[in-house]
Structure 1
Amino acid sequence: MQQILRSITLAYNNLPRPHRVMLGSLTVVTLAVAVWRPYVYSPVMAPTVSRPASVIKSPTTGAPPVDLAPEASEPIDQSSADNDDDVPPEDELDEKVADETGVHEYVVSTGDTLGSILTQYGIDMSDVGQLAQQFPDLRNLKIGQQISWTLNDAGELQRLTWEMSRRETRTYDRVDGNFKQSVANQVGEWKNTTLAGQLNGSFVNSARASGLSNAEVSAVIKAMQWQLDFRKLQKGDKFAVLTSREMLDGRSEQSELVAVRINTGGKDYYSFRAEDGKFYNNDGAGLARGFMRFPTMKQFHVSSNYNPRRLNPVTGRVAPHRGVDFAMPVGTPVLAVGDGEVVVSKNGDGAGNYVAIRHGRQYTTRYMHLKKLLVKPGQKVKRGDRIALSGNTGRSTGPHLHYEIWINQQAVNPLTAKLPRTEGLSGKERLDYLAQVRQAMPQLQFN
């Protein structure tokens, strides 16, 4: 062995200097590739993997799960898409109030807790636990209340705002590793105000011209998003908005949307706010279009979970995984999880062939690494429609589907996200709601 090493060393030293430099460089590159190369699970070795398979059970099917080796994941040092600017797509209707950039809002509904709300947006459970321990009242969120929050550059919770009622708002700011609470009480007088107008240009500009604030325009769009495409309203269409505004020293301090009426194409569309903070039509029927939890008919193995703070084990840098990877055979039908419009259907380099669908104004879903695209941009799809066949395109180490859900331009955990459901009011809640509708309807008059 020593004789062989001496022979190799002698042959190397006898090479011309340029050849020695080139050979040394190739050796370094080869070693670097071996160290940085992402691990690929071998199908042959899959049965010996010690960790238990993470199988998602679909509530809509009783079919046995398809168990594949956990080989379906893009390299950890690569993002799932090269360009996030086109999804979720932003336009004039997505404009934020100047001082609200980066603020995420949520209306508390049935079964919500502070933990279930924040963790679906990737906020660490330790932050949630620290807040609840310091301020036990946060365990008592009520239906219809609104919370909002901002994150710091490290993705940690920086500020949480809890609107307990029209008059009381509590804010929790991170200060030196702990949270500090401040309470604001409003003492103004609340008055209902109707603002009406007609389209002369875009809805946003027309609504502002009628006297609506930026925040009120945004609230109207969210309330009506499942009934209307605001980009397709025509000149001359009419609208009437009923808001409850708190007046203090002659100024409007804050407001709450009560009801909306929009007339387009000779037809009236209504939306009324109920006690639970959600909006329903004039008959008490829910406006949201229901979503499926999973984008496939069968159950598939989760090979990589959502992790917005995933670290590259080599570089130590944050390499977020904004969705969930489902390991599945190439050619598996991929379904739209809800009604919507296709906004992207193309090859996205690292994402491979991918599709993005906008549902209403707040929700966008993305489907990546596809083999074949079955839809085109601008096409309307229904829940359960086939939109593609799964594949292994782009930066991928095995056949899988990468699936994401975005809410208000924020990626959330697809497995735990609170999804829209088609629901309505019943019993006493519906009777109380219809009484509110009868009271508000006469106030929704056009100019």
Structure 2
Amino acid sequence: MKRITLLLVLIISFSSCKKEIEKPVSIPVIVKPKPIFKFGYNLDNYNVIQDTIKSGESFGIILDRHHVFYPKINEIATKIKDTFDVRRVRAGKPYTILASKDSTEKAQVFIYKHDKINATVIDFKDSVIVAKRHKNPVKRVVKTVEGVIDSNLSVTMDSLHLSGVLTNYVADIYAWTLDFYKLQKGDSFKITFEEKYINDSLFAGYGDVKSAVFKHKGQDLYAFKFVADTINGVPEYYDEKGNMLRSQFLKSPIKFQYRISSRYNLKRRIAYYGNRIKPHLGTDFAANIGTPIIATASGTVVESTRRGGNGKFVKIKHNSTYSTQYLHMRNQNVKKGQYVKQGDVIGYVGMTGNTGGPHVCYRFWKNGKQVDPLSPKLKLPEAEPLKESIKPRYFEFIKTLKYQLDSRIIPVQEPEEIREIIAKN
């Protein structure tokens, strides 16, 4: 019996030792951090210096401060001038310098950031000096926003936490078809647009406005972005019937936030002149001093000067038939002989000449005679409409876009059930 008991004790003891021996030993694992690559460089190999260009700083001053001396700076500027003009660096722009990790801490790469997406990378660490463009990968997210006008478009867009940049995009799209001064309280809109993001989180501005609709005076004013010529064409905006929104002349020389203080009137009487009839041959758009004035159509500047009661003004010849003039500017932004495009800023609202308040007097010539550009009787030339052969493709293209604007369902992709609903309608 004693032998059996002793044997059991030995077996239990052996089993316990075996368990202790087999117990795994915990070995700490050292995980090396992954190298960080940006702009095509392993940042672990450099001292990374990030800063913003200060007022009065130049490319040369910045590199000199980081131990690159002027013979080398001049060589860099000369070799990269076809890609990047170092004289064009601007105060307020961010930049990154990749410097050596040795005791000299000498700059080897200069990265100038034009905006959140685009940069110029200048590499001069070796004898070969290289300048190249860099573009951060951008993710585009399609969003839709709805709003109701309470006072004006800018205030409503701001209340929706949308940038003035997007407001300007929308104003440009509807510049030919909608007078933003005449928007009424209760008018509404719906816009489908793109937001651009870097690394899925850093907002980098707006992309395309894909479609929009304004409900104004009981009418639905649609806008759809479409490329008619798939080979060489540029995108334009069209309504639901395929009519182009753009026409040859804008409705106003000011985008929005103005009021018409005086219209074209051949029988106007002025108390200052003894209540005599003194025709007003222009349309006065009242706005704050400094408000940008834009060309209502493309053309050549034939006058940019100051004269008598007109004050400072610009006159543009658009073709052999039409010319426009913009009076009482604070200052001009263009010179005689300069070609301007529709929408270019040609000056700023002021009070020069004979004027009782800040405004731009907009004058319009047809065949050498001043006429009322806002008169419904004046038939201004329109841009070319869609060709009949292209319209079927266009109507197919806008089906989903229009359905999204007309309903509250905003699918990222067009599912089968939505195609069926559209087909039935």
Structure number with larger C-alpha Rg: 2
Higher RCO by CA contacts (8 Å cutoff, separation 6 or greater): 1
Bin of the TM-score, shorter chain as denominator length: 0.3 to 0.5
Q: Which structure's residues are more often strand, by fraction?
A: 2
TM-score normalised by structure 1 residue count: 0.36
TM-score normalised by structure 2 residue count: 0.38
